[in-house]
A and B are shown apart, each in its own frame.
Chain A
Amino acid sequence: MNRVPVRALIAALAFGLVALLVAACGGGSSDGSSGDSEQLTFKLTDAGCEPHKASAKAGPIDFEVENGGSAGVTEFEILEGETILGERENITEGLSGSFSLTLEEGEYTMRCNGGTEEDGTLKVTGELETEASPATVKAIDTYKKYLLKNSEELTAKTKPFVAAVIAGDVAEAKRLYAAPRVNYERIEPVAESFGDLDPRIDARENDVPKSEFGGFHRLEKALWEEETTKNMEPVAEALLEDVEELEELIKGKVKIHAVEIANGANELLTEVSTSKITGEEERYSHLDLVDFKGNVEGAEDAFLAVAPLMEEQDPSLVKEVEKDFAAVYAALKPYETNQWPGFVLYTELTKADTRKLAQTIDTLAEKLSLVPAQIAQGESA
């Protein structure tokens, strides 16, 4: 199991932490940003700005100001420190006006000159959403489709497996175990980003306290080590529930950035290096090479989704990475068979075999690790 991918990179690089100023005096036009503007409405009174305290999410904000019957207060300003970011003046009785700003997280001053009360505050929280380029949008969209496809297949393949376990058919359950593993191992980092879904679905025996050991590997242990499905019904049912929950989460508002996709590719290769190549993942069934290929496929598809974003900066890196992926598949080929599960069991590999595989992965991963920074650069260019 790995940690959540790095997220802070995006905001920091893309915007350099400076508030954006757009339009202001003269017209009530919007700043031309997407239709996701937040609306804040204020009244000018003898006291000053009303409400006196406001809060908003980072991003584009439309300020609507109306004179609520004050002769002395006719202005509304938003300041950062003593710098006026935006304002409307001459909003006399009966009139209203507006202006827009795109603000990042922080505390701003609201000032309505002439009012009896002191300045008010506007608290802005959250991350400024970047306006993604069409290429980025496409990359994210491509990858999301990949995630969804694998997640749906995962659910579809887990169902019969779970059914076989519940029916008590050990041989059939074993046969059906391999298929969902591939889909899961392709998209594992995404599962990891959703709280404890990954340990529930994919923990190995000493990853979690005994009472929490469930998911695929608990069933794997029952089938291969204990040769039984006794007492496994609740475990199997919980697994299907978790897998379906994953699908729902992926279908829903999953926000992914291009750099995260690139980081996810690296994490998939770390999975290979730390547990598949050592035979630790599938301790009872020894189907580690099946998972291995799944991880690599997942890494490749993630990489291919975002590669167009860096082709301008570093086309040679893209080529090298593609070459290294090919080398990994070539290295796996000798171990592929045309019977279930499609690969030799891990226990049949010699030190020389694992060594060769480990080296092709290390070669690929070392290059692939350069990609996220390239993507980030490409996005902020």
Chain B
Amino acid sequence: MALSRRRLLASAGIGAAGVGLGAGGYLIGHDSAEADAAESTGSVPFYGEHQAGIATPSQDRLHFASFDLETEDRTELRELMEEWTRATVEMTEGKMIGTYAGNHDELAPPEDTGEAVGLPASNLTVTFGFGPGVFDRPGLGLAARKPAALKPLPPLPGDELNGLESDGDICIQACADDPQVVFHAIRDLARIGRGTVTMRWSQLGFGRTSSTTRTQETPRNLFGMKDGTANIKAEDGEAMDKYVWVDEGPAWMRGGSYLVTRRIRMILEVWDRSPLQDQEETIGRKKYSGAPLGEQDEFDPLPLDVKGDDGKPVIPEDAHVRLASATENDGVRILRRGYSFTDGVDQSLGELEAGLFFIAFQRDPEKQFVALQRKLGQFDALNEYIHHVGSAVFAVPGGTRPGGFVGEGLFRPGS
């Protein structure tokens, strides 16, 4: 299926319902130019119909943070979002946060913490989301704005949640090609948030485990397997509209998406001593080429109906790619944008505490992620090697117009 390579943001803008962002023409044209610039300067435009960091080609590094909201004062929350937006615009342009004066006054602590000074923007994107709990806080008065699709994830088969990296009121996903840049983003935003939010948990990710565009080479996850071959690709505007972008519900969510995180601990020591054939049959692909079992090329469609000489399907019934495939799930797809992580050593076992920090974007978590995980959690051969230890869901608002701020729609009357 040949799809023309249209400019990312332009394709996202065309045909979408008006979202009250002013001159649509300006937005699209502006973003195309910015997008072209992005490739050469390493800077991703912050403003647009959608928040960056979703359709953006997956960068190499992640710093994800979840915050608890410590206030029920609506104005305080609004002001936080405004300040966060200002800082983010500056960071994504490779600039220091704050003013010259604010960073050079010897008697005052600098506004920007400084570790990203001299580093380019490195394709930094910062994406914000709101957890279900925010809308239940009576003082904030946001109950009427709660989207129907935003619910805490139900208990799912395979859950081994330890309560440490789960849930949260506000999330910030910072991605860039430089680890220091993503670290700096979260650190500085957390600092700006002091008093209004507290950090609940955070996760550093060091290798992208999904290709989100056709131009990217499919990366490998910590199992050594290619990960993201069949992912929704951002150039595929139709798929993005169908599976990722929200176009219903409260206006502030239009052009947004729902973000699900799952901290998946991988039992690497056990995987590493499994025979190659077992590894390949667990996933359903050849390890080195990424080709589906029974096929030659990584991008060959999955031969789900093909049987081998022994009468059994070449892709086993419990293989991960089979159970996760759109074909076997009534066409359900999600946009995966996860990262590998390691957090040192599990002191109780002397083994690596590492795995996949899974991130998925979809327009309806219940119909998409939850439906998929219900099946995978029960039947996936991969379950032998993983523990789902953390889980969260957030509503990611639509994009921001120049002069606006993230989640502005939440505070506008009648949206």
Contact = CB atoms under 8 A, between A and B. Distances in A.
A11 to B, nearest CB: 9
Contacts of A354: 348-349
B384 A351 contact: no
B273 A366 contact: yes
Given A270-B384, A274-B384, A365 B350 contact: no
Contact-size category for A? 20 to 34
Given A105-B309, A273-B269, A358-B351, A3 B159 contact: no
Contacts of A9: 277
Contact of B270 (A127, A263, A270, A351): A270
Contact of A355 (B275, B310, B349): B349
Interface string B127-165: 000000000000000000000000000000111000000
Nearest to A1: B384
Nearest to B282: A3
Contacts of A369: 273-275
Nearest to B271: A270
Nearest to B273: A369
Given A105-B309, A355-B347, A3 B318 contact: yes
Interface string A345-381: 0000001001110110010011011001100000000
Contacts of B384: 2-3, 270, 274
B376 to A, nearest CB: 14
Given A6-B275, A206-B157, A366-B273, A355 B267 contact: no
B367 to A, nearest CB: 21
Interface string B369-398: 000000000000100100000000000000
B74 to A, nearest CB: 40
B306 to A, nearest CB: 16
A198 to B, nearest CB: 13
A372 B348 contact: no
Interface in A264-302: 266, 270, 273-274, 277-278
A362 B269 contact: yes
B348 A351 contact: yes
Interface in A245-269: 263, 266
B278 interface: yes
Contacts of B267: 273-274
Contacts of B349: 277-278, 354-355, 358-359
B272 to A, nearest CB: 8
Contacts of A359: 349-350
Contact of A3 (B158, B272, B347, B381): B381
Contacts of B350: 355-356, 358-359, 362
B395 to A, nearest CB: 28
Nearest to B159: A206
27 contacts: A2-B384, A3-B278, A3-B282, A3-B384, A6-B275, A6-B277, A6-B278, A8-B277, A9-B277, A206-B157, A270-B270, A270-B384, A273-B267, A273-B269, A273-B270, A351-B348, A355-B348, A355-B350, A358-B348, A358-B349, A359-B349, A362-B269, A365-B269, A365-B273, A366-B272, A368-B273, A369-B274
Given A6-B275, A6-B277, A270-B384, 14 more contacts: A3-B318, A3-B384, A8-B277, A273-B270, A274-B267, A278-B349, A355-B348, A355-B349, A358-B350, A362-B269, A366-B273, A369-B274, A372-B275, A373-B275
The 5 A-B residue pairs with the shortest CB-CB distance in the complex, in nearest-first order: A369-B273, A358-B349, A351-B348, A355-B350, A359-B350
Interface of B: 157-159, 267, 269-270, 272-275, 277-278, 281-282, 309-310, 318, 347-351, 381, 384
